[in-house]
Structure 1
């Protein structure tokens, strides 16, 4: 056992898992019935929450490109309505870091479980309320104002939801298979996105007057069922072993916000860089591509726009691929390391950017479906799989929730939130020039590719450790301290 004192704290790491007390490990032996039951509950609790969040967000994105721009804005200028709809879509991303900050602090001080209970109610309740909103024709400017309010509440809850699910599973998962198990709840992301695309494809079959009068409301109102299911599961969940260990040793952070801006800032910065291509690419391929190929009328980008139902099949198939590619890439990161798998996804997106947008510009239905499906299912999700374990591994135990939340949600604003409004604005300003969007995708992919060369390998890191991986890596280079990581 090797020990080192960094920043006045004692840090211990070991290669001998047997020397640790059972409750002190993020993962217990697989033949422990109690641990196995808690692992199943954690996986289910995280998966249902992820499914609800991405069902709502993917559905909102689909509605933004094809419905909300008509219902919530004056139609005297369709292009302004489309930009306005995507701007409100981006408001949810602006609210997410605030929610991540508030609930991240609470998650590091009070525990992971109860924060996840609160966020699912807040996020799901706001999403359900969207289905009850009046339209621009009914109440004028009050309609987009109410939509903004619901997006703020939705984003506020979602800001801590995914960070909580990520931390929860990483802290419960067996160390040697942490990449795989941490990726499993994010199958819920694909399931939620898939469900949203299928639901939207079905309601898109309605006559346009019925779709715009009542059909669009049904999916939002039905999300109430998912709220009840997720709430029931999470109330039965136990606190994570790593947070229990913090409480047992009286190490819970009194000021996690101060810690994250003093010790944890390098981890937040590299986390943002890692997320630029994954998060930005996700929303570009889910939403901006649909606006590009399916927008009709005066604001159309293509001479012969595709039918909106055809275009959404790309999202559907991409999400179906993701159900397999996310856990697969998580598993591969357990074998070959987080960095190698993550870098593959970033480089793939970089090389894919220009051929993809050129193909979309041709306006061929099956080709557009294939491009969107590959962009989501392969390019984006081959980064999402290793990211599920990598982000929690970047941060120390005392401020892990807040660190993951800040890295995820600040990147969600810079990458995901800007993707819609900036992408559509660029297309509008250039008359639908596909090259600008190809360059946009290539730039964010290049940022993430470069970041993979700056971040340390985190596979198998002991999540009971107090110091961050990025900070520790820098200190080791300058002090020569060697700390052997646990490989359970």
Structure 2
């Protein structure tokens, strides 16, 4: 990574401290994504039947995915709230609040009666809880990445910025694995109580995450900004007023890693089970295999960011995703077990390359006093669009008469947009050289 993000480097601590902070960020983020991804998988398998019950399976699935999208629509609100607080009162305090909120909300989803128990109140309450999930996640990731980077030695920021990213596939493994375990129950038991167990498991996991988060030190850079009163008075407003080009480019670079992922997981699970008639266990196994491979891709991506820069790595992964989107879907369309697993894994691995370096790239775009807000807003603007990807892909599937061609073109379009923003990002780094130098002199 470029040495231009000098302020963070000036406040950097030892490798041992950086590893401790990055691990704490990873564990908290893994819980956040476990809860968030669990909802997405359940929307494909459970919520469409038990909470949005209609005689038309397509309408029920669209309604379930619409509630899924609500969580993404709420994420910018979380970015605004926690971005402001994170740049004003500290990164650590906000991360404790966000992980607590999402753990409690997920537990409540596991306790919520379904449509056949309380009628229309069930989908309304479910959607409200999803909204609160979105607010929490909107403030979580930006803070975790900012905290990890601001503790890291300058030449190793790529690997430490990738640590919170690894929470994503680990969260996928945990959520998909939990649902896979209970999916073997008899259908009546699964629908009655089996699907609830993974949601209820969020509560004990929350205790572990809170214990680790409380042991993490506050960012030394933020403490210096606090001592010298160098904080922005209204960081969110300043980001929109002075750094909106970085905001848009940052959102574009983050889009494939989030939106593409939900197309290949949440949408493909629904597409595979309802349109292609595949068993749900096969799609869950494919998701588990892809998430396992993704962990290694993310580790590699962090190292590549240190060697070649996060923008170049973003372009590489996005271009690869665009080129191989159709071959991946062709494998899925065969419905052969090995081909399906390979197709989902290939697509996930490629889009994970830009996702691996997203934290490193976004933290390069914003000065320290606006960093939490800028990173959170960029990621969650991308998140809003990403939340509607399964819904859009399902609508395109219906428009195309059940063919995967239009959903595949949607993936290609997302990849090309991320590729273009990756090409533009270095200019954003150069534009803030002067700002970063001034910050470095004050820290």
Q: TM-score, normalised by structure 1?
A: 0.86
Match of 1:251, SS state, is coil
Larger Rg: 1
2: distance between equivalents of 1:163 and 1:145? 29
The aligned residue for residue 68 of structure 1 is 47
1: distance between equivalents of 2:77 and 2:12? 31
Corresponding position: 1:312 with 2:284: yes
Pairing 1:160-179 to 2, within 5 Å after superposition: 160-179=139-158
Match of 2:301, SS state, is helix
Query: What are the Cα deviations for residues 162-186 of structure 1, in whole angstroms up to 9, with x where unaligned?
Result: 1111111111111101101111232
The aligned residue for residue 397 of structure 1 is 368
2: distance between equivalents of 1:277 and 1:391? 14
Are 2:43 and 2:64, in contact at CA under 8 Å, matched by a contact in 1?
yes
The aligned residue for residue 444 of structure 1 is 414
Corresponding position: 1:28 with 2:13: yes
Corresponding position: 1:39 with 2:11: no
Corresponding position: 1:383 with 2:354: yes
1: distance between equivalents of 2:365 and 2:282? 41
* 1:244–1:87 CA distance, 2 compared to 1 (3 A): same
Are 2:9 and 2:154, in contact at CA under 8 Å, matched by a contact in 1?
no
Are 2:331 and 2:342, in contact at CA under 8 Å, matched by a contact in 1?
no
The aligned residue for residue 432 of structure 2 is 472
Match of 1:456, SS state, is helix
Pairing 1:94-133 to 2, within 5 Å after superposition: 94-133=73-112
Let me know the Cα RMSD of the aligned residues.
Answer: 2.2
1: distance between equivalents of 2:38 and 2:360? 27
Query: What are the Cα deviations for residues 12-46 of structure 1, in whole angstroms up to 9, with x where unaligned?
Result: x999x9xx9xx97242344xxxxx2x323312221
Query: What are the Cα deviations for residues 386-431 of structure 1, in whole angstroms up to 9, with x where unaligned?
Result: 11211111100111000011100011011x2111111112212322
- Report the number of matched residues: 438
Are 2:310 and 2:358, in contact at CA under 8 Å, matched by a contact in 1?
yes
Corresponding position: 1:265 with 2:225: no
Are 1:25 and 1:241, in contact at CA under 8 Å, matched by a contact in 2?
no
Query: What are the Cα deviations for residues 209-257 of structure 1, in whole angstroms up to 9, with x where unaligned?
Result: 1111100000000011121111112222221011112112210111112
Structure 1 spans left out of the alignment, 5+ residues: 1-12, 31-35, 296-300, 458-467
Q: Which segment is superposed worse, 223-232 or 38-47?
A: 38-47
The aligned residue for residue 8 of structure 1 is none
Corresponding position: 1:343 with 2:328: no
The aligned residue for residue 32 of structure 2 is 53
Select 1:408's aligned residue among 379, 404, 424. Answer: 379
1: distance between equivalents of 2:157 and 2:11? 10
The aligned residue for residue 328 of structure 2 is 356
2: distance between equivalents of 1:337 and 1:246? 27
1: distance between equivalents of 2:292 and 2:267? 20
* 1:24–1:318 CA distance, 2 compared to 1 (3 A): closer
Pairing 1:283-294 to 2, within 5 Å after superposition: 283-294=262-273
The aligned residue for residue 297 of structure 2 is 325
2: distance between equivalents of 1:470 and 1:292? 43
Match of 1:351, SS state, is helix
Match of 1:73, SS state, is coil
Higher relative helix content? 2
2: distance between equivalents of 1:164 and 1:204? 35
